[in-house]
Structure formats: structure tokens, C-alpha cells
Amino acid sequence: MPQPPRQRAKTAAAKPAAATAVPALIAEILLRLGQVTERLEPNDLETKRWMANNARNPAVAEMLQDSTPMTFQIIDAIGRLEPVNGITISRETRIPKGSVSKITRRLIARKLIRKKLLPNNKKEVLFLLTPLGRELFQVHRAFDQQMERGFTRFLQRYQPEELQFLIRVLHDLTQASFLDV
């Protein structure tokens, strides 16, 4: 059954409006992606404040002042994988080997990790946490778990079909190349 003239006019007008809305919607999505990235990566001060408030040992809270996100990544990798070598830390964290080497030297000096030489291989160095390093590792893990709980609570407001759509978008994002023209 053909549409009445007035309905056809509304439909025809809606198509150009939708086409012009797409660039504005894409611009809004790009803006929001930047904001989400910033929000999901709490600023250094916020992270350190939470960890200091939740550290049982004042020495750990003091160590936080000079720590960087890369330091936390390396402490986390060592805590999860110990004993572990620098190449594995680099691969796990995606931090260049030279940076891992520099940061592990600093962590040794701060008595957060120690190195162990293998008796049959003088070149290979393994890293382990010290008791102080283990405390820092544990408070960092608690921080990560708190962030995950908060994110889970946030996502529970959505319906299963909305979450499925979000999964599809995130999957597509991980598969896409944005440099291809």
C-alpha cells in the first residue's frame, strides 16, 4: 500500500537528516572515547591516593610517591610470574627491554625487588619481590580489583542486549585497522 504524500515527505526528509547526523554522531563518539580512556585510566594521583589509604605499611605509602604506572606494571608482572626474567617482563607488559632494565635497577635500589642469578647461567637474571615489594604488589592488585568491581557495578545497569551490542562494538574495534583508507 503506497504511503500518503505527507508520510512520504517525512520519510524523504528523514534520510538526509540522518545522513547529516552521522558525522556529528561520529564526532560525539570520538570525543566520548577519549573521555572513557581518561576515566578508565585513573590519574596517577587518584591511584596513589587510593593505594596509600589502603596500604597497611607506611613504607609502602611512601614508596608510592616515586612510583610510575610503568613501575606498577613491572611490579605486577614480577608478582604474578616470579621468578621471572626481564625479557618475559617486557613481553608481558609491552614495555621495551631497555626500560624494563632501567626500572628493575631502580626497584632493586628501592628494595622492592631482588635479583637472582642462575648457578649454571651467569647471564640470566631472575627477579623476585622483596617483602616490601610484595606489599606494594598486593595493594596494587587490590586497587585493580576495586576498579573491576566498580566497572562491573556500572555495567549492571544495562540490559543483556545492550551489553551484547557493546561486546560487538568492542570486538569490531579490536579487529579494525584505522590506518587503511
Give the Cα separation of 63 and 43 in Å (integer): 17
- Please give the average pLDDT of every successive group of 10 residues along the chain, which has 181 residues: 52 58 85 80 78 90 86 96 96 95 96 91 91 95 93 94 94 87 58
pLDDT of the residue at 45: 81
pLDDT of the residue at 42: 63
- The number of distinct structural domains making up the chain is 1
Burial of 86 per CB tally in 10 Å (0-12, 13-18, 19+) = buried
Would residue 181 count as lying in a domain?
no
Would residue 107 count as lying in a domain?
yes
Would residue 126 count as lying in a domain?
yes
pLDDT of the residue at 167: 93
Would residue 110 count as lying in a domain?
yes
Would residue 144 count as lying in a domain?
yes
Domain span at residue 50 reads 43-173
Which pTM was predicted?
Answer: 0.75
Would residue 25 count as lying in a domain?
no
CATH of the domain at 145: 1.10.10.10
Would residue 69 count as lying in a domain?
yes
